Homo-oligomer: A and B are copies of this chain.
Amino acid sequence: MHAYVHIVDDDASFRTALERRLKLAGYRVVTYASARELLDQMPDDEEAGCIVLDVRIPGMSGPELQSRLNELESTLPIVFLTGHADTATTVQAIKAGAEDFLTKPIASDQLIEAIDRAVARHQLARGQRTRLDSLRALLARLTPRERQVFDLIVCGRINKQIAHELGTTERTIKAHRHQVMEKMQVQSLAELVSIAERLGTRQSGAELKA
């Protein structure tokens, strides 16, 4: 609860009306008159919420703002609102990950449903991203050498091979390997490989010889 809805629309009276309606539904609301305004304040991605975005707004258009937000890796789902939708714009927006695309005038119940869905999706995405981020943070703490060893371990190389490929001794690899398991907070090789797979850092094998 207390999720944020960010409304971007150049029609002040519409913003106000929608704001009132959403606050009654239990949402916290922030309004913006333009894409620029939203980008300047850049809503916090960590707070549950979503964006309600008019397609035609002065300056940067709705879809332009969407692609900009995608570049910035925002995961806030977008619910588009528009007076007259053309099909190409609709298709493009949904393909780019918009949660919904609605036409004005819109029944407020229907809009709220879309917003609820968007917020729920954001919760999920946020949870996943948080889990991945913490894994990435662990990985980032490895020294360059440890990272090399990590890559070779999760490809199934044994210590002897790793030592040979890195031009050092088996004993040294054991030391690095120990550090890797320690820093990645895992007790088994299986967990380590699982992490590598989820982070997409695992190469299929031969690529690493280059």
Contacts and interface: CB of A to CB of B under 8 A. Distances in A.
Interface stretch (A36-44, A96-104, A164-172): A96-104
A11 interface: no
A103 B85 CA distance: 13
Give the copy number.
2
A91 B101 contact: yes
A43 to B, nearest CB: 24
Interface in A31-63: none
Given A94-B95, A197-B198, A156 B188 contact: yes
A164 B186 CA distance: 22
A191 B100 CA distance: 40
A155 interface: yes
Contacts of A90: 85, 87, 90-91, 94, 101
Interface in A179-208: 186-191, 193-194, 197-198, 202
A7 interface: no
Contacts of A190: 153-156, 189, 193
